Amino acid sequence: MLEDLLNSAIHKAVHKLYHIDDFKPTLEKTPSHFEGDFTLVVFPLLRFSKKNPEITAKEIGNELLNNSTLIEQFDTVKGFLNLTIKNHKLYEAAWQHSIENIKQLAPKHSTYLIEYSSPNTNKPLHLGHIRNNLLGYSVSKILTEIGYDVKTIQIINDRGIHICKSMLAWQLFGDDETPKSSGIKGDHFVGKFYVEYEKQYQIEIKSLIKSGLSKDEAETQSTLNQAVQKMLRNWEKGDPDTISLWKKMNQWVYDGFEQTYQRLGVHFNKNYYESNTYILGKKVIAEGLKKGIFYKKSDGSVWIDLTKEGLDEKILLRSDGTSVYITQDIGTAIERYQDFAFNSMIYTVADEQDYHFKVLFLILKRLGYPWAERCHHLSYGMVTLPSGKMKSREGTVVDADDLMDKMEQSAADIAVARGRQEPNDTLNKIIGHGALKFQLLKVDPKKTVMFDPKESIDFHGKTGPFIQYTYARIQSLIKKYNHECNYPKKPQPMLDIERKVIKKCLDYHNQLFSSAHNRNPSILANYLYDLAKNYNNYYHETPILQEKSEEIRAFRMALSQRVANIIDKTASMLGITMPETM
């Protein structure tokens, strides 16, 4: 890599000037309003040079200029040395640069587990789940690219009071209807009854309050609430009728989920089910209780005291012996380590659960599991709409399947407006899904996303379709060129705008490693957009196929091909497909 060569040259210069062997240069990209390609921060060297920052920078600059074949010129700005790379060295770097044989950062035999999706079987996937899936999937692809053995997993929350609400509503109001008889996708079908339960429950609560009861009294005396609590207890006791209904309705949901996952382009190496892992969680809690790690209150509930760690007391088992979310999370984590002996595990879960994961990791640590230190929470912000937050209980969420339908239709409508004669469902899917994915992934995971479907599919904005169009434009050039796109071995004259595109191409590895290190796909997404934007400027300002010089034309086509390769490679890690034509 060019930066490795520059680091080596700087190291030699510093050793010669100040007799330092262990200096590690700190290189930055030179800001656009200054001359230069790379900037060396010289402040750490002042204690060796015994001179002020300006003189130190000039000494190093002159040494590099006189004794390195890399540097064309330099400029000093206080304690910063701005270095300009010679054109032919930049050309050589572009010629030798490979996006395939990257430096593997991962240790050998290192396994990453990445959990994402983790839905409840009482409702279909929605827009929030799409962001979750895209983040988890993209991080898995990025880590795989730098050499990790990555396994993608999910925990399916298939038990609990929320599941029983759908089950009870179907018993009371379903009239033996099924997904097949109704023509409704399985997860949508079950989700309909979850909403129906909430609707009927609120009607009952209002009626009870109107009769003179307080809100708390109404909730306690609600026949629906009492019935759903009884169903949960029956489930945990293994009541055959309850288990049979539970299995039937969950299968409807699993079938629906799988269709959505295939459409979204994500997959899992293994599924875990809360209905299995909570049993191990309860067993571990019982053992921890005996060891004094946990304690029992007078009502029989089991707790852990985390006040010494700056948190509070956390319930692990209710007084009636039923489990809570963290019960199954304890069991799931232990089972996963037994299955994979992972080096690291990432939980892709919204920031509403930040506290939950602090508690979980502390509990695992208290239980004596050394791998607890290697569990991480990829916390991300919620997705909102111009109309506000989504609420699944009220049925106001943006359904994942409906949203993908709308994005595909938007792509189709735009194609017609742009003059496409023949319908192309495959291309509409590629463009619509590319718009959706890029819009959600370009934002830092920690930030809330305001998703605007219309904005996401604008061909001229910071969008997936803009990047896809850039790629398709290059493919059109390559088809017309009808030659191999190889760099001429002899360096060619280079325009400033070509230097800019080449430097952006050479930055691919840095952006990939940064995205992997920070588990942040938005770094790659924004790099992808910047690369496409730079190339489009280059395309509009520079003759490529119209260039008269055969060697310069070959160079520009080779550069175009390199840009297309990087776009395709980077986009694939974001789950975005590049079309050959648009």
What distance in Å separates the CA atoms of residue 458 and residue 119, rounded to the nearest whole number?
31
Cβ contact 114:385 at 8 Å: no
What distance in Å separates the CA atoms of residue 116 and residue 261, rounded to the nearest whole number?
12
Beta strand 295-296 with 302-305 is antiparallel
| DSSP structure string for 559-575 | HHHHHHHHHHHHHHHTT
pLDDT digits (tens, 9 = 90+) for 207-219: 999 999 999 999 9
- Token pair for residue 396? 């106001």
| DSSP structure string for 148-183 | -EEEEEEEEB--SHHHHHHHHHHHHH-TT--HHHHT
In 10 A of CB 243, how many CB atoms?
Answer: 14
Please list the helix, strand and coil fractions of the chain in percent, rounded to the nearest 5, in that order: 60, 10, 30
pLDDT band at 393 (very low <50, low <70, confident <90, very high): very low
Q: Which fold has domain 2-85?
A: Gyrase A; domain 2 (3.30.1360)
Looking at domain 116-384, its CATH architecture is 3-Layer(aba) Sandwich (3.40)
Per-residue pLDDT for 391 more than 70?
no
Cβ contact 335:271 at 8 Å: no
pLDDT digits (tens, 9 = 90+) for 16-56: 999 998 888 888 999 988 999 999 999 999 999 999 999 99
- The values of phi and psi at residue 283, to 5°, are -65, -45
Interval 266-295 mean pLDDT: 95
pTM, full prediction: 0.91
Give residue 396's pLDDT. Answer: 57
Per-residue pLDDT for 280 more than 60?
yes
pLDDT band at 108 (very low <50, low <70, confident <90, very high): confident
Beta-ladder partners of 80: 41, 77
Cβ contact 350:131 at 8 Å: no
Helix (H) or strand (E) holding 500: helix 496-506
Cβ contact 315:325 at 8 Å: no
What distance in Å separates the CA atoms of residue 84 and residue 72, rounded to the nearest whole number?
6
Helix (H) or strand (E) holding 27: strand 27-29
Average pLDDT of the chain, as a whole number: 93
Cβ contact 482:488 at 8 Å: no
E strand map for 260-389: 270-273, 295-296, 302-305, 313-317, 344-350, 375-380, 383-384
pLDDT digits (tens, 9 = 90+) for 412-453: 999 888 888 788 999 999 999 999 999 999 999 999 999 988
What single DSSP character describes residue 409?
Answer: H
- Token pair for residue 43? 């402040």
Give residue 546's pLDDT. Answer: 95
Strand order in the sheet with 38-41: 27-29, 38-41, 80-85, 71-77
| Vertex 149 angle, CA 146 and 154, to 5° | 115
Considering only residues 387 and 324, tell me which one the structure prediction assigns the higher pLDDT: 324
pLDDT band at 392 (very low <50, low <70, confident <90, very high): very low
Interval 297-307 mean pLDDT: 96
- Distance of alpha carbon 537 from the chain centroid: 29
pLDDT band at 95 (very low <50, low <70, confident <90, very high): confident
pLDDT digits (tens, 9 = 90+) for 234-244: 998 999 999 99
- Taking CA atoms, 405 is separated from 399, 431, 432, in Å, by 10, 12, 9
Interval 137-149 mean pLDDT: 95
Q: Which fold has domain 405-573?
A: Isoleucyl-tRNA Synthetase; Domain 1 (1.10.730)
pLDDT band at 107 (very low <50, low <70, confident <90, very high): confident
What distance in Å separates the CA atoms of residue 90 and residue 102, rounded to the nearest whole number?
19
Domain boundaries, the chain: 2-85, 116-384, 405-573
Q: Which of helix, strand or coil describes residue 252?
A: helix
Q: Which of helix, strand or coil describes residue 377?
A: strand
pLDDT band at 388 (very low <50, low <70, confident <90, very high): low
What's the number of CA atoms in the CB half-sphere (13 Å) around residue 145?
Answer: 27
pLDDT band at 387 (very low <50, low <70, confident <90, very high): low
- Token pair for residue 356? 């939950």
